[in-house]
Structure 1
Amino acid sequence: MTVSFLGALDHTVVSTSLATISGELGALQLMSWVVVGYTLASTVLLPVLGKLGDVLGARRIFLVSLVIFLAASLACGFATDIAWLIAARVLQGMSSAGLQLMSQTIIARVTTQRERPRYMAIIGAAFPIAILVGPVLGGAITDYWGWQWVFWINIPVGAAAFAFALVAVPRLEPGPAPRSFDIAGAAVFTTALVALVLAASWAADQSGGATALTALAVSAAGFIAFFLIERRAPEPIIPLHFFANRTIAAGTALSAIIGVGLFSITAYLPTYFQMAYRTTATVSGLVPIATVFGMLASNLLTGWLASRTGRYRIFPIVGTILGAAGLLVMALLPAGLPLWAPMMVMAGVGMGTGAFMSLIVAVVQGAAPASQTGTITATINLVRQVGSTVATAVIGGVVGSGVAALLPAGLDASTLTPRQVHGASAAVQASVAEIYGTVFTPIFIALAAAYALGIVAAVLLPHGRLSDEPAPAIRTPSETLPA
């Protein structure tokens, strides 16, 4: 719980200190890479770390990741230029992936299928809590202690977590040593994924069309090569035969839909409400807060219910229906309603998503061999993060180009701010509100369609109950030989 919260918080706490950091280090044009570098590193290493956890043992990767995370946090605070900070953030992102992934892997290895949803829900609560407290905490630390302490605050908490881990985390048996590590697959996959994320990021920039297309072509070629490599690799980092299992295939699709359908839109909700509903920045944050509260409550409740009853299939079915209906209602809501109306709707979307956000990880882990728990956990986290990253960039591009095309003469989309709009005439305010409503309506419809596909995936989950049997121990080949 401690390190999961650290990893999730470090992703959100930096956001409110970025302006101060970039100003003091004199590199406003590279500010976004402080976040992008962290996110990219934490995404691309997931399959590699998942495989290493299965081979070397989850405890070992967990402890090494924690040490690197603390060293990187220390380095971030001592950064004297933006290049140093970005490099340290990349290292921090890499180790954060190991912490998040190995936390889930260790929980899967020491619990039964029946117990797992409850514990996964508690671990999974770190992300919504970090969304709620991260920006406020980051702002307070920056104002009163200095931006360096945004990173240094990790040191005492991480040191305590390391001491706990040495005592509490069991020495789980690793899987049998592989005949060979899939170096080619790991290298090609990392290249393809980096190119995809860069293409999505550059696509949001109107001047980056050519580079985005080039990166997209590199990514497509890389994923084709990766598919061919994995089919022949004796020890693939992402075993493609996993997806012949209906539980794994449906669960992976549901995980991707969470990233595409909800995580991608959350960052744009405040802007939408400031422009379409003419609220202040502070008030506009109430809608994402309501969404996250719904997600947090539902995540904990369904985890407890699934562990208590052993039933799991009903939760993703109801959750995806609730998410699809809520986003469709958001598309139909006329701008200008009292803010409690969209708050209730988005809280419903959050509740629907939380109903299967952590549960689906536990279910998919139970469908894979115990010797490949880390690999399957990495895969299901990977599709969620990639879906969120790509969809976020696409939505940003749609909003930017759509608003620019519809704005009346005299308003520049590149310099348009909520304060500027709120200070304009009532006619201009109404026009901008209508434009944002027009641009966001098809976005909400597309996200509702993504959740509708999730309903299909949820229905395809096999019937069954979570087992009370403990996870089988992984034995090395020498242990299976007769005495």
Structure 2
Amino acid sequence: MPLSPLRFRLLVVSLLTVSFLGALDNTVVTTALATVAGQLGALEHMSWIVVGYTLASTVLLPVLGTLGDRVGPRAVFLASLTTFILSSVACGFAHDFAWLIAARVVQGMSSAGLQLMSQTIIAVATTPRQRPKYLAIIGAAFPVAILIGPVLGGLITDYWGWPWVFWVNAPVGILALALAVFAIPHVARTVRGRFDTAGAVTLTIGLVALVLAVTWIGADGPASVSAFAIAAIGLAGFLLAEMRAAEPIVHLRLFTNRTMAVGTAISAIVGVGLFSITAYLPTYFQMAYRTSATISGLVPIATVFGMLVGNLTSGWLASRTGHYRVFALVGTTLGAAGLGVMAVLPVGLALWVPMAAMAVVGVGTGAFMSLIVAVVQSAAPAAETGSVTATVNLVRQVGSTVATAVIGGVVGVGVAVALPHGMDAAALTPSLVHAAAPAVQAQIATIYSDVLAPIFGVLAVVYVAGIVASVLLPAGRLADAHEPSPAPTESIAV
């Protein structure tokens, strides 16, 4: 859908601002978690500030994607942005923990709409050739938010107070809303008929149970097993509902298209292969390399900076040349190489060595992180752009959640089993280790290295699987004009 140059620039500014707000909201809040929970008297439930937000933003993706196809992405985007602003204000006014969690759930639901509709609107407003560049620009909000979010959250909490962690969203969001009302084009709804209520309900039950199950692994075994059982029943019911629905919420038939099936699998690697391990890197380097908390943060920063560079570079080159498979191949190869190096690195090397290895993983992941969304969008019928974009994001987020929980469980059990007699894994902190005798420090460093090395190796294999998937991705070039999407049974995307 062609727009005037000015209106298109305002559109990109609005979408980038909103994407940055959504990405920043979670990273800023993590720094203020202890302060918020302490002042509201709920330290034991602190994790639900993040879990409630993540859970809501994950399970609503397919529902919002389908709504975007039915009522148009503009309506869903504007409603999501308005809700995000109001729920952010409500979070800041929370006087008890129940209020805050409820507001965070609503905020997470609206954040899913912002993330998803930003990508869908770009797909509507650009040609397939232009799409990678602008999706990369929108996608750059995530790594930038990771880089500056914790510092910004700390400054706001220390100098303004924790409510401003949420309230700061309001003025920026209102400005973005004013731009969006003018810049976002009206798009006629493309899907009619009855809404797939059975599919939406069963998928929501299945995903909520699955996320809770992996969250409770290691903390509450019986509850986790029960949640897994409910998840299996819910997801089985969802598959049955989708096979019977006239207008399913997730069009399973689209995955007979090799581009879409392979592209979705490659997208999952971002969550499973990288996002899952990032949270554990600081602890690993504090324990195995005996660094301070501040210094340990340099490795995730190098990873995220590499992701930013790879994302913007591949988006620009793909839009310039129209080629896309090469970036998936190079990106997954770099990811496999970087994680393979991490798996065999001996403890005690200079910190720049693992920083360089993880930066390579970041560059490789960034090379296909946003691009693969553009490729899958181009392979889908225009009438189902929203639901297809939702499916790609859903697979990535669920993969990240499940893999993060699994890695956390493996690390927790592996370290606890290997610790010397008399040491309590639950009370083991970096400061305690750094104050111990050199022999004990060396022993614990070896334990963490022995536990994490196989994990890095397994994640390297995940990227190797991505290399295979990239080879199977049909070759082609992104079109430089609005052209009809290929039929779902075709192998070539464009």
TM-score, normalised to structure 1, is 0.96
Contiguous gaps of at least 5 residues in structure 2: 1-15, 486-494
CA deviations on 1:3-56 (whole Å, 9 max, x unpaired) are 000000011110010000011000011100000000000000000000000000
Hey, what's the Cα distance between the residues in 2 that align with 1:270 and 1:192?
32
Letter in 2 for 1:252: T
Letter in 2 for 1:241: R
Q: Which residue of 2 aligns with 1:463?
A: 475
Q: Which residue of 2 aligns with 1:279?
A: 291
1:202 and 2:216 equivalent? Answer: yes
CA 257–204 in structure 1, closer or farther in 2 if over 3 Å, else same: farther
Hey, what's the Cα distance between the residues in 2 that align with 1:413 and 1:168?
54
Hey, what's the Cα distance between the residues in 2 that align with 1:366 and 1:203?
38
Hey, what's the Cα distance between the residues in 2 that align with 1:326 and 1:243?
31
Residue 449 of structure 1: how far off its partner (Å): 1.0
CA deviations on 1:79-103 (whole Å, 9 max, x unpaired) are 0011100000000000000001000
Match of 1:142 among 144, 154, 157: 157
Q: Which residue of 2 aligns with 1:421?
A: 433
CA deviations on 1:410-467 (whole Å, 9 max, x unpaired) are 3111011000000000000000000000110111111111111111111111011000
Residue 204 of structure 1: how far off its partner (Å): 3.4
Q: Which residue of 1 aligns with 2:489?
A: none
Residue 220 of structure 1: how far off its partner (Å): 1.1
CA deviations on 1:171-225 (whole Å, 9 max, x unpaired) are 1121142x211000100000000110011000132xx111111111111121111
CA deviations on 1:347-378 (whole Å, 9 max, x unpaired) are 00000000000000000000001111100000
Q: Which residue of 1 aligns with 2:55?
A: 40
**Where does 1:199-238 land on structure 2 (aligned, <5 Å)?**
199-205=213-219, 208-238=220-250
Match of 2:65 among 15, 25, 50: 50
Alpha carbons 1:111, 1:471 under 8 Å: kept: no
Letter in 2 for 1:286: L
Residue 409 of structure 1: how far off its partner (Å): 1.7
CA deviations on 1:131-189 (whole Å, 9 max, x unpaired) are 00111000000000000000000000000000000111111121142x21100010000
Q: Which residue of 1 aligns with 2:167?
A: 152
Hey, what's the Cα distance between the residues in 2 that align with 1:369 and 1:172?
15
1:364 and 2:381 equivalent? Answer: no
Alpha carbons 1:128, 1:292 under 8 Å: kept: yes
Residue 472 of structure 1: how far off its partner (Å): 5.6
CA deviations on 1:276-315 (whole Å, 9 max, x unpaired) are 0000000000000000000000100000000000100000
Match of 1:80 among 86, 95, 109: 95
**Where does 1:86-101 land on structure 2 (aligned, <5 Å)?**
86-101=101-116
Local SS of the residue matching 2:426: coil
Hey, what's the Cα distance between the residues in 2 that align with 1:95 and 1:417?
36
After superposing the two structures, state which structure 1 stretch, 462-471 or 386-395, moved more: 462-471
Q: Which residue of 2 aligns with 1:170?
A: 185
Q: Which residue of 1 aligns with 2:198?
A: 184
Residue 335 of structure 1: how far off its partner (Å): 0.9
Match of 2:268 among 235, 256, 276: 256
Q: Which residue of 1 aligns with 2:323?
A: 311
Q: Which residue of 2 aligns with 1:112?
A: 127
Q: Which residue of 2 aligns with 1:481?
A: none
Alpha carbons 1:204, 1:393 under 8 Å: kept: no
What is the percentage of aligned positions where both structures have the same residue? 68
CA 449–409 in structure 1, closer or farther in 2 if over 3 Å, else same: same
1:391 and 2:403 equivalent? Answer: yes
Residue 257 of structure 1: how far off its partner (Å): 1.0
Alpha carbons 1:38, 1:90 under 8 Å: kept: yes
Hey, what's the Cα distance between the residues in 1 that align with 2:269 and 2:239?
22
Contiguous gaps of at least 5 residues in structure 1: 474-483
Q: Which residue of 2 aligns with 1:476?
A: none
Local SS of the residue matching 2:254: helix
Q: Which residue of 1 aligns with 2:306?
A: 294
1:347 and 2:362 equivalent? Answer: no
Count of matched residue positions in the alignment of Structure 1 and Structure 2:
470
Alpha carbons 1:370, 1:471 under 8 Å: kept: no
Q: Which residue of 2 aligns with 1:193?
A: 207
Hey, what's the Cα distance between the residues in 1 that align with 2:361 and 2:273?
10
Hey, what's the Cα distance between the residues in 2 that align with 1:199 and 1:240?
25
1:130 and 2:151 equivalent? Answer: no
